[in-house]
Structure 1
Amino acid sequence: MYSRLESQSWDWLNSEGVSRDVGQVTRSADLRYEHQGWEITVDMPDGPITEATVDHLIANFHDLHNRLYTYNLPQAKVELVNLRVSASGALPRHEMSTLSSANGRQPEPESHRPALFSRSVGYVDTPVYRRDTLLAGSELVGPAIVEQRDTTTLLAPGFGARVDSYGNLVITGME
């Protein structure tokens, strides 16, 4: 079972650009005493799983249980609940790209739509901007809506937003 999980982990790491010399796949197992309602994750050594490996795993479980809960039950049956692998690795430093500058040009809304900010004011005709069209230095004054594929940002009246050189929307209260 571990060999399949490890192979899938290395395939995933390789697809993310992590080579074996900077990647790591570690094994663990979730164990508990019979009829216990919680598990403890215990490190599992690499290599083939032998009777000695299982004995070592169970001994480590008893030791860890004692350290966590101040007791253990060496004569009790131990159940294996889950096998786990954890994959990690270092990626080369990623250089963040910066956005082109708006050079003082204000963005044009893609559309307008009514938005409710408070019951006392009612619906307000609100400009809608596409996030991917905003350039560095673009400034918006609320009310505004900024849409992108995975999120919508609502800029309430009394707030402003400025796009920094990395594309972050920096929202501040306006006086």
Structure 2
Amino acid sequence: RRAASDLDSPSYERLADLRYRGQSFELTVAADDLASLPERFHAAHERRYGFRMEDEGIDVVNVRLVATVHGARPPLHQARTTGTATNGRRRANFDGEWLEVEVLDRRRLGAGSAVTGPAIVEFPEATCLVRPEWAGEVDDVGTLVLERA
């Protein structure tokens, strides 16, 4: 939790998502000064698409306020291994060829743990298929960093 005094001096950014009436795509523009908002939108549209339609109505799709408070970065904890990461083997298809690959539990891969493709790394929320020509390792904060071998 932050003390109330930590929130005393946020910076604010006002933004608006606008589009010409009848269009499907919006452009985000700064909305600090409402009087200059139409001209700011016309200019942004011209930069992006090469033309402006000043006689066309403008739809306001979203308006938002972003408040930012700067503070100290939270500490990052070193990733630790919790036993064997091997979770069996499974068949996987790479470019039309079926291979028997190792299945690894991401939660058990600590800092410095190597991963060599082909492999499957199972995360609690996702699955990472490591191609045969890729390899990598878990960094100090637990990120799986893969590179083409």
TM-score range (shorter-chain normalised) is: 0.5 to 0.7
Give 1:112-151 correspondences, 5 Å limit: 112-119=89-96, 122-151=97-126
Give the distance between the partners of 1:172 and 1:79, measured in 2 at CA: 46
Distance 1:144 1:18 in 2: 50
In structure 1, how many angstroms separate the alpha carbons of the residues matched to 2:56 and 2:113?
65
Q: CA deviation at 1:44?
A: 4.8
Aligned equivalents of 1:28, 1:172: Cα separation in 2: 38
The letter of the residue matching 1:127 is E
In structure 2, the CA distance between the partners of 1:127 and 1:43, relative to structure 1 (3 Å rule), is same
| Among candidates 53, 56, 63, match of residue 84 of structure 1 | 63
State how many pairs are aligned: 140
Alignment of 1:60-79 (within 5 A): 60-61=36-37, 63-64=39-40
Q: Structure 1: where are the runs of 5+ without partners?
A: 1-13, 46-56
Alignment of 1:39-58 (within 5 A): 41=29, 43-44=31-32, 57-58=34-35
**TM-score, scaled to structure 2:** 0.64
Q: Deviations over 1:21-45 (max 9, x none)?
A: 2434454556678x57577846256
Alignment partner, residue 73 of structure 2: 93
The answer to which of 132-141 and 149-158 deviates more is 149-158
Query: RMSD value over aligned CA atoms?
Result: 4.0
Structure 2: gaps of 5 or more residues? none
Answer 1 or 2: which has greater strand percent: 2
| Partners of 2:117 and 2:134 within 8 A in 1 | yes
| Local SS of the residue matching 1:64 | helix
Post-superposition offset of 1:135: 0.9
The DSSP-based 3-state class of the residue aligned with 2:31 is: strand
Task: Name 1:166's counterpart in structure 2.
Answer: 141
Q: 1:18 to 1:139 in 2, by over 3 A?
A: farther
Q: Cα distance, 1:159 vs. partner?
A: 3.0
**Any conservation in 1 of the 2:90–2:101 contact (CA below 8 Å)?**
yes
Deviations 1:77-116 (A, max 9, x none): 96663461222312431221112368xx8x4411211111
- Shift, 1:148, TM fit: 0.6
SS in 1 for 2:132: coil
